């Protein structure tokens, strides 16, 4: 089945639309290691950068519904999270204290990816979010700062409505996309690729369609060679849409990463992904993924470079 054409979209495609969620602020205790400020900083930097601001349309993310989340998640888990009824151990596994603000931010993150998916569903189109990539969320539990798996929800909704026949996930966060792998473990219509640190979280790995593990301290050259090995296998699957989890926690400055990539290496990583997508004429959704560098501005720069690279590869409108 072929994807919808641009005339059916609800959002403009004259320039790529990117959805943001930082209008929903999560109250976190002092010293919490989740880099909440980076999401606002990325948006503000885009707005203040004349090239980025003129070639990306920033739109506040709509809220997903409970029914949306249930495309990929157990209904009881969804209802318990939304109502604040999850157990204390379940919330500790997620890593956030429950609050109504967390619910709003979570549903905006899912809504951003769903909206970006709708934009991307036209030939050669792409869209993205300044959130998302919450790949540690399993079907019936959250983990690692991930409540609901936005990419899995978007793909599951597309498959449920017969909008596509095949989807692919390129997950280049430093941590394995274990939740995504678990959700699609028995789904032949989804190709999950995870390129990640062997020794890093999660310590109990799941089985993606293709897992490529990297040794501690891996640098740009070895990383890019591994990526070059992976991308042809993914595109041989002939996906009709690609979701790119573009985490930047492989940077050498990242406090939760074990790899040693430079900003130049990450830019080259992104370029190779985007050029492969363009060559195969596949719609693309970009999600931010992880980035825990100190100072946080290092992660902000890397996320901005992902969008700069996308504009350079796909054209400036």
**In sequence order, what are the residues at sequence separation of 6 or more whose Cβ sits closer than 8 angstroms to the Cβ of residue 90?**
80, 141, 142
Apex CA 111: angle with CA 110 and CA 117, to 5°?
95
DSSP the chain: -PPPPGGG-SS--SS-EEEE-TTSPPP--TT--S-THHHHHHHHHHHH-HHHHHH-EEEEPPPPPHHHHTTTS-HHHHHHHHHT-S-HHHHHHHTS---HHHHHHHHHHHHHHHHHHHHH-STT-EEEESS---TT--SS--BTTBSS-HHHHHHHHHHHTTS-S-EEEEE-SSS--HHHHHHTTT-TTEEEEEEEESSSSPSS----SEEEEE-TT--HHHHHHHHHHHHHHHHHT--S-EEEE---TTBTTBTT----B-HHHHHHHHHHHHHHHHHHT--EEEE-----BSSHHHHHHHHHHHHHHHHHHH---
**Which residues carry out catalysis?**
136
CB of 149 closer than 8 Å to CB of 134 = yes
């Amino acid at each position: 089945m072929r994807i919808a054409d641009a005339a059916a979209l609800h959002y403009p495609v004259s320039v790529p639309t990117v959805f943001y969620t930082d209008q929903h602020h999560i109250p976190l205790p002092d010293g919490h290691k989740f880099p909440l400020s980076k999401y606002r900083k990325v948006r503000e930097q885009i707005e203040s950068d004349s090239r980025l601001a003129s070639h990306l349309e920033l739109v506040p993310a709509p809220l997903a519904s409970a029914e949306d989340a249930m495309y990929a998640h157990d209904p009881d888990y969804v209802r318990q999270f939304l109502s604040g009824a999850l157990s204390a151990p379940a919330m500790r596994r997620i890593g956030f204290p429950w609050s109504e603000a967390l619910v709003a931010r979570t549903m905006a993150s899912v809504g951003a990816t769903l909206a970006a998916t709708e934009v991307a569903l036209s030939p050669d189109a792409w869209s993205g979010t300044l959130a998302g990539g919450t790949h540690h969320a399993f079907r019936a539990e959250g983990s690692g700062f991930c409540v609901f798996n936005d990419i899995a929800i978007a793909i599951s909704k597309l498959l449920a409505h017969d909008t596509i026949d095949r989807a692919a996930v390129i997950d280049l966060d430093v941590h394995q996309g274990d939740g995504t792998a678990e959700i699609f473990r028995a789904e032949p219509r989804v190709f999950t690729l995870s390129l990640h640190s062997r020794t890093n979280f999660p310590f109990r790995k799941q089985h993606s369609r293709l897992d490529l593990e990297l040794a501690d301290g891996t640098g740009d050259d070895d990383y890019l060679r591994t990526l070059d090995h992976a991308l042809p296998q993914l595109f041989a699957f002939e996906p009709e849409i690609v979701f790119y989890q573009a985490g930047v926690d492989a940077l050498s400055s990242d406090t939760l990463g074990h790899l040693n990539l430079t900003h130049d290496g990450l830019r080259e990583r992104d370029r190779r992904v985007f050029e492969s997508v363009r060559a195969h004429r596949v719609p693309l959704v970009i999600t931010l993924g992880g980035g825990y560098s100190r100072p946080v501005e290092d992660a902000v720069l890397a996320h901005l470079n992902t969008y700069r690279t996308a504009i350079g590869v796909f054209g400036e409108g």
